[in-house]
Amino acid sequence: MRIVHRLLSALALLLAINLPVQAAKDANADLYDAVAPADSAFVRVLNLSDKGVDVTLSGKVNPQKVAAGQLGGYRFVPPGRHRIAAGALAAEPELKANTATTLLYTGSELIPVADKFVNEPKKAQVAFYNLTGQDVALKTLDGKHAIVEPLGKNQTGSRMVNEIKIGFAAYAGEQNLARFDELFLKKGRSYSYVLLPQGSGYRTISLANSIDPTE
């Protein structure tokens, strides 16, 4: 069976109730450019440094180039211990089957964050990453509806939503910290929303997740 793991409320009809974390079987041909074998593990790097970095992964021949301040695509490998190197830093995490991990590369650290993904081809998955020093929630732009409840530093949470074009914002309590670009959330796909500190304010990343098929 060809399997792709989908990796990664608001308005009443938009929000979906919490679903258990599990592997996702993808039947949508346009979701990713590659099809991962069953029971793969997925890993990617978020480059928080101010320079681009080459990321190498054991089992892969070619490095992945991740620009400064950007998320790389997920790469899939068989489960087990793998060596991941970004610049001069390296880690050897145990990557389990049917899991996804985002490594935060700061230039001096590689910090693993366990991602969440679910099995629901009729919904879109929204994943929020809070990389600030305060508790922050992902909400609708007006702040009235929480998509992902408040998260602490370097935490991630997710929610399934109906297909819709919508914008979100990051809130600390009632304070709107930053808004994210509006995206068309398609069913069967997953999206990442990242809030980062920048100077005296904040920077946001919002994008559709992808798989890098490079060997």
Model confidence pLDDT, tens digit, residues 32-51: 446 789 999 999 999 999 99
Q: Which residues contact 125 (CB under 8 A, 6 or more apart)?
A: 6, 7, 8, 117, 118, 158, 159, 160, 161, 189, 190, 191
The predicted pLDDT at position 120 comes to: 82
Per the domain annotation, does 205 fall within a domain? no
Does residue 201 have a pLDDT over 50? yes
Does residue 18 have a pLDDT over 60? no
CA dihedral 169, 147, 206, 180 (to 10 degrees): -10
The predicted pLDDT at position 34 comes to: 63
Q: Please give the tally of structural domains in the chain.
A: 1
Does residue 30 have a pLDDT over 70? no
Q: What's the burial of 133, exposed, middle or buried (CB within 10 Å: 0-12/13-18/19+)?
A: exposed
- Mean pLDDT in residue range 140-155: 97
Per the domain annotation, does 62 fall within a domain? yes
- Mean pLDDT in residue range 157-178: 97
Domain span at 81: 41-114
Per the domain annotation, does 207 fall within a domain? no
Q: How far is C-alpha 132 from the geometric centre of its chain's CA atoms?
A: 16
Per the domain annotation, does 56 fall within a domain? yes
CATH number at residue 75: 2.60.40.1120
- Mean pLDDT in residue range 12-35: 38
Does residue 4 have a pLDDT over 60? no
20-24, 38-42, 163-167: least confident range? 20-24
Mean pLDDT (the chain, rounded) = 86
Per the domain annotation, does 81 fall within a domain? yes
The predicted pLDDT at position 182 comes to: 96
* Angular region, 39: left φ>0, alpha ψ -120 to 50, beta rest: left
Q: Which residues contact 184 (CB under 8 A, 6 or more apart)?
A: 163, 164, 165
Beta strands 124-130; 190-198: pairing state: parallel
Does residue 173 have a pLDDT over 60? yes
Does residue 28 have a pLDDT over 50? no
Give tens-digit pLDDT for 75-128: 999 999 999 999 999 999 999 999 999 999 999 999 999 998 777 899 999 999
Per the domain annotation, does 152 fall within a domain? no
> What's the rounded Cα separation, in Å, for the pair 112 and 126?
19
Per the domain annotation, does 169 fall within a domain? no
Looking at the chain, the whole-number percentage of residues with pLDDT higher than 90 is 80
Q: Of 88, 78, 92, 86, nearest to 42 (Cα)?
A: 78
Per the domain annotation, does 47 fall within a domain? yes
